[in-house]
Amino acid sequence: MPEGRGRVLIIAGSDSGGGAGIQADIKTVTALGGYAATAVTSVTVQNTQGVSAVHPIPTAVVEAQARAVLDDIGADAIKTGMLGDAATVEAVARVIDSAPGVPVVVDTVMIAKGGESLLSAEGARALKALLVPRAALLTPNAPEAAALTGLPVETTDDLRRAGEALLNAGAQAVLMKGGHIAGDEVTDLLMTTRGETVFSGPRIETRHTHGTGCTLASACAVGLAQGLSLEAAVARGWGYLAEAIRRAPGFGAGHGPLDHAWPMREP
């Protein structure tokens, strides 16, 4: 583990079930030795079976939370998750601009695991215009990549083409996640203007995958906050997520949560 805990400011929504959102982010950052601070964008009513209500936090309050953290505690990385609407995206862009030099991991949260929309159409346009160019790392899954680029994303080659489009849109790096691509192997592509790194492994057959995107993005963010290179941060995060899926506790009747705390029990 690198020296220094690594401060991560997480700007995301709350998941009452504890498996995704800001709860998963905090657990991940803590398990990997970092320090998590938060700006809550919304309170969701959800469990493993889906989201039944969303209560947005006023945009001014979201921005004030983030600025309070940055003004006092500071941050070595910023991670964004569920933002909800264009006004919140715009506020987050202002916060990012007030913290020059701090790498930003943008998790393009658009749709919940159960299929519920978590970002308005106007919000998606704002995310593409304002946050993609500010991202040190963008982490879309296949449906999100398709929504952001307008390209079909059904194969790994499609994922690569969409990644190139997002790099051309201004992202410094993209982690194109292949979990939605059919096949016995899951292949993720870390793409930068310098080249590509492939992360591939056997698909884990399980329904306990709630919060995988939040978890991976936060794992990458804390690695960057601790001074790891982009490739090393993603590699560590990828391995952490795979083990958290394998060790899932089996809670809930739907898409169950992961075991975020597993490194804390290792000797």
Q: Looking at the annotation, which residues are catalytic?
A: 177, 209, 211-214
Q: Token pair 């519920």 is at which residue?
A: 116
Alpha helices in 119-229 (DSSP H): 121-126, 142-149, 156-168, 212-225
Q: Which of 125, 202, 133 has its CA nearest to residue 166?
A: 133
**Total Cβ atoms within 10 A of residue 240:** 24
- The answer to whether 18 and 257 have CB atoms below 8 angstroms apart is yes
Tell me how far apart the alpha carbons of residues 205 and 240 are, in angstroms, rounded to a whole number. 17
Tell me how far apart the alpha carbons of residues 83 and 95 are, in angstroms, rounded to a whole number. 13
Give the alpha-carbon dihedral of 96, 99, 100, 106, to 10 degrees.
-30
**Total Cβ atoms within 10 A of residue 247:** 15
Beta-strand relationship, 173-176 and 185-192: antiparallel
Is the C-alpha dihedral spanning 33, 232, 73, 83 positive or negative?
A: negative
20: left (phi over 0), alpha (psi -120 to 50) or beta: beta
